[in-house]
């Protein structure tokens, strides 16, 4: 049974509970039937308070990407499957004083890409970089655990944007749980600080166009038409990646012992107050700390690279940093709740008490990437977001698997979407488009339809559209 609440909001009655879907008619009609099977499995977890899909929803492992799922803290459940494998994956945007006209020359943009690549590797960095960073400090203290040279505004009494203009600079937890981390992982994690990773992770040079309806907010945030910004998408790398398989195995064993489960063996969960639940929650926070530091250090590397191009006075001001794969204790409707977001972005409206202090008045920037070659968006939450616990999309959302994309989409089609050979070409760091064909725009939903769904549902509105000019991707 489907109940249409209007405003791109459908409530679907499944066998095991209620699923809310926020999507316009075109997106809703094209949802894969498998997403409903996965939702019904997820709803078998007892005492669910809320479960929803944003318009970018698509099939994942155990749980769809694009899921918001909520339980009470007191008697609820934690699920690694509804957090996702890349714990703490998220977005970061930095502002520059450059205008798009300043970097229209393709030779200059190619120089920018090459300079950034010197400082921001895809997989592991050279051991000569960042030797004084200690992994035990950053996973325990987040950005506070970095040496001062990487957080130069830390001691500024009036301008500490590295700590204030982000969703969270530090997640506190019981660090005794770190004793269970294998020795080899500490070394690997150290080598990956400040690295992009592969898949859909990227660093993108973009130019923005402000939407008239939110121009006042944009100006308060320091945005202007034509401004060049840097958008970063990455997560907790191997540190978070190691926790997924480990806890899938541990949770399965515990679930067998308790005699609980669903039809999907990839969907695991445990009571938040169980030994397994507490171990996962605490180590998940360590991965969230790693993720925010990783994006901070990627941005640091981008700035160092662009200083080689534009001079040592070049600066990049952080606009915001936020996550879209995590579970977090939040207060909603007068009670403490554990909000899982797997491929969904928190978008708080003006005046909400959970906003970072600099964004209390306006609401914080919600950073939504498009697919490579298409627009990304900077949004702001609306009061109507309360009906979805202030969750919106995290991107365009895949419509084809990587394998299917390579079989169905040609390199020529990809090149056309990247405007190759024109003055508006979106430059990439890879030698051939074939090597990143599985990340072409045709692999993803139409991001404009996704954004239209969110806006039409009253969850958030657009502050600025960000058009790509140059992309750095790993493989």
Q: What is the pLDDT of residues 127-176, one digit of tens each?
A: 778 999 999 999 999 999 999 999 988 777 777 899 999 999 999 999 99
Alpha-carbon distance of 461 to 313, in angstroms, equals: 34
Structure tokens that stand for 128 in this block: 């000569």
Alpha-carbon distance of 388 to 399, in angstroms, equals: 23
Confirm whether residue 371 is marked as ligand binding. Answer: yes
Number of residues that this document lists for the chain: 475
Residue with tokens 């009470």: 72
Residue 44's closest CA among 5, 66, 9, 71?
A: 71
Confirm whether residue 395 is marked as ligand binding. Answer: yes
Fold annotation for 2-399+444-473: tRNA-splicing ligase RtcB (3.90.1860)
Confirm whether residue 64 is marked as ligand binding. Answer: no
3-state secondary structure of 82: helix
Least confident stretch, 72-86, 174-188, 235-249, 261-275: 235-249
Report which of residues 153 and 223 the model is more confident about.
Answer: 223
What's the pLDDT tens digit per position in 271-310? 999 999 999 999 999 999 999 999 999 999 999 999 999 9
pLDDT bucket at 124, cuts 50 / 70 / 90: confident
Composition of the chain by helix, strand, coil, percent to 5: 40, 25, 35
Torsion sign over Cα 250, 256, 260, 263:
positive
Alpha-carbon distance of 11 to 5, in angstroms, equals: 7
Confirm whether residue 200 is marked as ligand binding. Answer: yes
Listed by start position, the domains of the chain span 2-399+444-473
Alpha-carbon distance of 355 to 361, in angstroms, equals: 9
Q: Which of 50, 165, 364, 394 is catalytic?
A: 394
Torsion sign over Cα 81, 237, 165, 54:
negative
pTM for this model (two decimals): 0.96
pLDDT of the residue at 246 = 80
Alpha-carbon distance of 137 to 131, in angstroms, equals: 13
Confirm whether residue 439 is marked as ligand binding. Answer: no
Confirm whether residue 233 is marked as ligand binding. Answer: yes
Alpha-carbon distance of 417 to 8, in angstroms, equals: 29
Q: Are residues 142 and 292 in contact, defined by beta-carbon separation less than 8 angstroms?
A: yes
pLDDT bucket at 122, cuts 50 / 70 / 90: confident
Look up 364 and say whether it is catalytic: no
pLDDT of the residue at 71 = 98
């Amino acid at each position: 049974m489907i109940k249409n609440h209007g405003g791109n909001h459908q409530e679907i009655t499944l066998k095991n509970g209620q699923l809310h879907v926020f999507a316009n008619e075109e997106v809703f009609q094209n949802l894969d039937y498998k997403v409903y099977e996965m939702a019904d499995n997820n709803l078998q977890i007892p005492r669910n308070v809320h479960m929803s899909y944003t318009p970018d929803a698509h099939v994942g492992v155990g749980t769809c990407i694009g899921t918001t799922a909520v339980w009470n803290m007191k008697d609820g459940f934690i699920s690694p499957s509804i957090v996702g494998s890349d714990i703490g994956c998220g977005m970061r945007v930095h502002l520059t004083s450059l205008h798009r006209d300043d970097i229209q020359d393709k030779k200059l943009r190619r120089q920018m890409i090459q300079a950034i690549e010197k400082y921001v590797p895809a997989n592991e960095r050279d051991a000569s970089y960042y030797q004084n960073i200690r992994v035990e400090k950053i996973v325990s203290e987040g950005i506070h655990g970095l040496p001062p040279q990487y957080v130069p505004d830390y001691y500024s009494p009036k301008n500490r944007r590295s700590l204030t203009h982000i969703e969270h600079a530090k997640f506190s937890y019981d660090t005794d749980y770190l004793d269970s981390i294998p020795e080899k992982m500490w070394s690997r994690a150290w080598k990956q600080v400040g690295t992009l990773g592969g898949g859909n992770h990227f660093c993108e040079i973009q130019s923005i166009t402000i939407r008239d309806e939110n121009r006042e907010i944009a100006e308060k945030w320091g945005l202007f038409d034509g401004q060049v910004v840097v958008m970063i998408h990455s997560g907790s790398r191997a540190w978070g990646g190691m926790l997924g398989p480990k806890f899938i195995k541990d949770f399965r064993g515990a679930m067998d012992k308790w005699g609980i489960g669903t039809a999907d063996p990839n969907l695991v969960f445990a009571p938040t107050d169980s030994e397994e639940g507490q171990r996962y929650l605490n180590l998940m926070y360590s991965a969230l700390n790693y993720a925010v530091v990783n994006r901070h250090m990627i941005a640091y590397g981008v700035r160092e690279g662009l200083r080689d191009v534009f001079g040592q006075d070049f600066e990049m001001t952080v606009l915001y940093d936020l996550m879209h794969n995590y579970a977090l204790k939040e207060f909603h409707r007068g009670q403490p709740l554990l909000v899982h977001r797997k491929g969904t972005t928190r978008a708080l409206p003006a005046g909400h008490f959970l906003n970072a202090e600099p964004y209390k008045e306006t609401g914080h920037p919600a950073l939504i990437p498009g697919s490579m070659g298409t627009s990304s968006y900077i949004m702001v939450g609306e009061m109507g977001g309360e009906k979805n616990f202030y969750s919106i999309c995290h991107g365009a959302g895949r419509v084809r698997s990587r394998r299917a994309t390579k079989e169905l989409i040609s390199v020529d089609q990809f090149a056309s979407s990247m405007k190759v050979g024109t003055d508006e070409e979106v430059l990439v760091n890879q030698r051939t488009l074939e090597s990143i064909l599985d990340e072409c725009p045709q692999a993803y939903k139409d991001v404009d339809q996704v954004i239209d769904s969110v806006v039409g549902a009253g969850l958030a509105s657009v502050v600025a559209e960000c058009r790509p000019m140059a992309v750095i991707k790993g493989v």
